[in-house]
Amino acid sequence: MSCLFCSIVNGDIPSNKVYEDELAYAFYDIDPQAPVHFLVIPKEHILSAGAVTPENSAVVAHCFEVIAQVTKELGITDFRVVSNCGLQAGQSVPHLHFHVLAGRDMTWPPG
Ligand code: 5GP
Ligand code: ZN
């Protein structure tokens, strides 16, 4: 099965890496929507937030540890975490990812 983000994790497609460990990978978004915009993904292929189960939820929790650690390292205190799930919600890559956006005022509700 070919998956864009699995290809980024295994190095077949280059990315601007922010962080990596055995469970998670973080890299800057190719089309940033804020002055800071990176993605945190589990290395394990999970389709979306709708595919989180008791078996894989530990890596999802780990992604949030990564978000807290990386934002701290970048000196970011105010940020937004977004995970689009499904086409109607705007998910374009079917591998679970958390957008981390920062560096500008955010509006609510999101569009
Ligand atoms: P989604 O639309 O699924 O919520 O988010 C997918 C994100 O992946 C988009 O913000 C898009 O800009 C980003 N993206 C798509 N292809 C690539 C790529 O090849 N490299 C990087 N760094 N980001 C990508
Ligand atoms: Zn994948």
- Residues 94-111: pLDDT tens digits? 999 999 999 999 999 998
User: Would you say the pTM of this structure is higher than 0.95?
Assistant: yes
38 lines ligand 1 (CB under 6 A): no
Mean local confidence (pLDDT), 76-98: 98
**Who contacts 19 (Cβ-Cβ below 8 Å, separation ≥6)?**
25, 26, 40, 66, 69, 70
Residue nearest to atom 24 of ligand 1 (CA): 30
Whole-angstrom distance, CA of residue 52 vs CA of residue 31: 26
Ligand 1: residue of 3, 10, 92 to mutate (most ligand atoms within 8 A of CB) is 92
Phi and psi at 51, nearest 5°, equal -115, 20
Which atom of ligand 1 is nearest to 27's Cα? 22
> What tokens were used for 74?
């970048």
Query: Average pLDDT, whole number, for the chain?
Result: 98
List, for residues 5-53, the tens digit of each pLDDT value.
999 999 999 999 999 999 999 999 999 999 999 999 999 999 999 999 9
Give the residue carrying structure tokens 């390292």.
73
What is the predicted pLDDT for the residue at 1?
Answer: 67
